[in-house]
Amino acid sequence: MNSFSRVDLPLLSVVLSLTLLSCSAPETTEPLDTLGERPIITLDETVITDATPAANVDSPAIWSSEDETWVLVTAKEEDVLYVHRASDGALLRKVGGSGSELGQLERPNGIVVIDDLVFVVERDNQRVQVMQLPEFTVVGAFGMEHLSEPYGIDVVPFFGEDYLVFVTDNVGALDEEAAPADVLSERVHTFSLVVERESGTGAVNGFEASHEGAFGETGGEGALWVVESLKVDPALGTLLVADESPRRKNIKVYDALDENWELGAFRGVTFGEGLFLSEPEGIVLGVCRNRAGEDVEEGVWMIVDQEERVNHFLAFDRVTFEHLGTFRGAVTLNTDGIALVQEARNAPFENGLFAAVDDDQATSFFRWDEIVASLDLELTCPEGSSLLPQSED
């Protein structure tokens, strides 16, 4: 199936499964044994980076070179990116520093890596800055004319080597009621990016960014009251946006780009009601692949429920959004962003790395294969495919 082709979701099964859930989350300050009638699994962190209490770290992204895997984390108070070695969590370097010049950062929040490019959302510079890895060579910035209070980001391939960028804008957010319609209609901004590279070396000389528009429902269940995290499924054209408002606490399902090339149509589906106890936050997608490495369009969404005492990571079916299970870290709490690669370069993460920010001051690394096994997530994959790396033999 081509990227961004729309899928007819089994809406009846989604509605039926969601109606079984309570409309209000239970109030608790103690760890729960179950969530949504499924047991909550506790997993030990494989690696936890050294704590930096003053940094106010927010979101991770993961990049693998030919030799090793790095975890990049935004530090909002220090205005830098932390670069950690995945195998042991060692801090390799810091990138950035306070300011508005290119190469400097002001309250970096959302971050995503695609190919050899890292995209960083700067809330207080009201822009997205782009750097090329592994040297963090500054390529440029965009969005300054359109973004007011940007937070979350996702980037997907578009027409070969170009990219489509989605950025949430939380300007005017109100916890207990909706913002005005003109604000809600521009909750998610989209940009297209055409990158210019040198022939042979692949070095990026620059890019051309175009604002393709902004979208968001202005009323009803699809309205985005308080937004930060979002994630695109490029194969199915699905866009998930987390609504953190205490009056909402759910995930909205939008079209990233439908069959008519329209951006951001609400699909009329929300999920997670009654399961998120505090704030739905970071979102990642694990895909089922066959032995040839092809996406078979099944898999699992992992979404954080951020809380200082009962922090959870919830798994949902990629297509039906059925709740599949929940785990918590042995020590990890108050998680903002998460990141996932399903195959990393170094032990002990050859079968995948799941990174989660821990209480604004550290980053926890979990083994993806342990998460998959503990929650029986392989059951989401058709025969012959897996959420874990496979050889073609």
Q: What is the pLDDT of residues 84-130, one digit of tens each?
A: 999 999 999 999 999 999 999 999 999 999 999 999 999 999 999 99
Token pair, residue 55, equals: 């940094």
Token pair, residue 36, equals: 């949504």
250 located within any domain: yes
Q: Quote the percentage of the chain above a pLDDT of 70.
A: 91
163 located within any domain: yes
393 located within any domain: no
Q: Please state, in angstroms and rounded to a whole number, the distance separating the CA atoms of residues 305 and 295.
A: 27
3 located within any domain: no
Between strands 323-329 and 38-43, the pairing is parallel
| Burial call 251-262: b when 16+ CB within 10 Å, e when fewer | bbbbbbbbeeee
From the list 312, 308, 311, 235, the residue with the least C-alpha distance to 7 is 235
Domain count, the chain: 1
Residue 76, C-beta contacts closer than 8 angstroms, at least 6 positions apart: 55, 56, 57, 58, 107, 108, 109, 123
Report pLDDT for 30.
67
35 located within any domain: yes
Please give the residue range of the domain that contains residue 354.
11-386
Q: Please state, in angstroms and rounded to a whole number, the distance separating the CA atoms of residues 256 and 102.
A: 29
Q: Other C-beta atoms within 10 Å of 121: how many?
A: 30
245 located within any domain: yes
Report pLDDT for 2.
37
Long-range contacts of 372-377 (CB under 8 A, 24+ apart): 372/286, 374/41, 374/43, 374/325, 374/327, 375/41, 375/315, 375/324, 375/325, 375/326, 375/327, 376/324, 376/325, 377/286, 377/300, 377/315, 377/324, 377/325
Long-range contacts of 374-377 (CB under 8 A, 24+ apart): 374/41, 374/43, 374/325, 374/327, 375/41, 375/315, 375/324, 375/325, 375/326, 375/327, 376/324, 376/325, 377/286, 377/300, 377/315, 377/324, 377/325
Sheet of strand 69-75: strand arrangement: 57-64, 69-75, 80-85, 91-96
From the list 212, 188, 231, 197, the residue with the least C-alpha distance to 61 is 231
5 located within any domain: no
From the list 78, 144, 135, the residue with the least C-alpha distance to 106 is 78
From the list 85, 83, 104, the residue with the least C-alpha distance to 94 is 83
Between strands 117-122 and 127-132, the pairing is antiparallel
Report pLDDT for 29.
60
Token pair, residue 68, equals: 């090793």
295 located within any domain: yes
Three-state secondary structure call for residue 103: coil
First to last CA, the chain: 25
E strand or H helix at 230, and its extent?
Answer: strand 227-233
Tokens 């000389």 sit on residue: 205
Residue 17, C-beta contacts closer than 8 angstroms, at least 6 positions apart: 320, 321, 322, 323
Report pLDDT for 271.
98
- Tell me, rounded to whole angstroms, the distance of Cα 201 from its chain centroid: 30
Per-residue pLDDT 10s for the chain (393 aa) are: 333 332 333 333 333 333 333 344 445 566 789 999 999 999 999 999 999 999 999 999 999 998 999 999 999 999 999 999 999 999 999 999 999 999 999 999 999 999 999 999 999 999 999 999 999 999 999 999 999 999 999 999 987 779 999 999 999 999 999 999 999 999 999 999 999 999 999 999 999 999 999 999 999 999 999 999 999 999 999 999 999 999 999 999 999 976 677 789 999 999 999 999 999 999 999 999 999 999 999 999 999 999 999 999 999 999 999 999 999 999 999 999 999 999 999 999 999 999 999 999 999 999 999 999 999 999 999 999 999 999 765
Report pLDDT for 306.
97
CB-CB contact of 333 with 358 (8 Å)? yes
The predicted model scores a pTM of 0.91
Q: Please state, in angstroms and rounded to a whole number, the distance separating the CA atoms of residues 157 and 2.
A: 12
Task: Return the amino acid letter for 52.
Answer: T
Q: What is the CATH number of the domain that holds 33?
A: 2.120.10.30
Token pair, residue 249, equals: 């606490």
